[in-house]
Amino acid sequence: MASIILSTKGLTKTYGGLNANEDVDFELQRGKITALIGPNGAGKSTFVGMISGRIAATRGQVVFDGRDISALPAHERIKLGIAYTFQITSVYAGLTLHENVAIAARRRLGKSAKAVHAKVVSVLQQVGLSDRADQIAGDLSYGHQRVLEIAMGLAQDPVLFILDEPTQGLAETEVDDFVTLIKALAGDTTILLIEHNMDVVMRTANHIHVLDNGRSLASGTPEEIQANKAVQAAYLGTDVDA
């Protein structure tokens, strides 16, 4: 059985007396793809914000790779190997793909030009963008910009890679390419996928955790989640929607 790379215990965030998340217990299996799903307003973004350190928890604990990181700010968690891509692309539009990935690589490798260049070449090849290294990022299609953002995350050699709505706005063929890429990355890194597209979730995830109204509703394999009565009831008997 896979070991646990990250866990939360009683993780809670309160805004003005209202709980965005309440007592969330959660585990991530090392080297696996875990999908975090739930309806709009379920508290997914707040929860991931607390894991990544961008949002301070009201109470509760986050343990990463055996270490309590509950009090660490986001930049310290990045140093430990937690990389995060956002719902909206955050590439540097006026720079080339090579320059974008180099900026990300330097966060991990420092200023060694040789090491940074080698990492950039390796990562661009890994995500299928090596033939576009000298292209200006702003000239890429939206889908390729999302792939570039993934490359920037990979350049930091993440132990845990958090992908927030990575297929949002992608064409169907781009979604298929994304699925292939993510499945290829699993094992080398642990992936937490926050995703609306349930087809993507079912095709990629080894494990699914469901949030509803800020609380954990269910956790299990894709087959277990599909058959879960509480999940079916929460989603009014329709297909689960993230």
pLDDT digits (tens, 9 = 90+) for 139-165: 999 889 989 999 999 999 999 999 988
Separation between Cα atoms, residue 132 and residue 37, nearest integer Å: 33
- Measured in Å, how far apart are the chain's first and last C-alpha atoms? 27
Residue-wise pLDDT tens digits, 30-73: 999 999 999 888 999 999 999 999 999 999 999 999 999 999 99
Q: Which residue has the higher pLDDT, 2 or 155?
A: 155
Q: Beta partners for 234?
A: none
Determine contact, residues 242/164, Cβ cutoff 8 Å: no
Write down all domains in the chain, each with its CATH number in brackets.
Answer: 1-81+158-242 (3.40.50.300), 87-157 (no CATH)
Q: Which has more pLDDT, 110 or 236?
A: 110
Which residues face 84 on adjacent strands? 162
Please give the Cα distance from 58 to 224 (Å, whole number).
Answer: 31
Tokens matching residue 196: 């609306």
Q: Is 181 helix (H, G, I), strand (E, B) or coil?
A: helix
| 5: number of Cβ within 10 Å | 22
- What pLDDT does residue 118 have? 97
Q: How confident is the model at residue 241 (pLDDT cuts 50, 70, 90)?
A: very low
For residue 62, CA distances in Å to 73, 93, 141, 213 come to 12, 34, 37, 20
Q: Is residue 131 very low, low, confident or very high in pLDDT (cuts 50, 70, 90)?
A: very high
> Does 91 have pLDDT greater than 50?
yes
Helix (H, G, I), strand (E, B) or coil at 149: helix
pTM of this structure: 0.90
Rg (Cα) of the chain, in Å, rounded?
A: 18
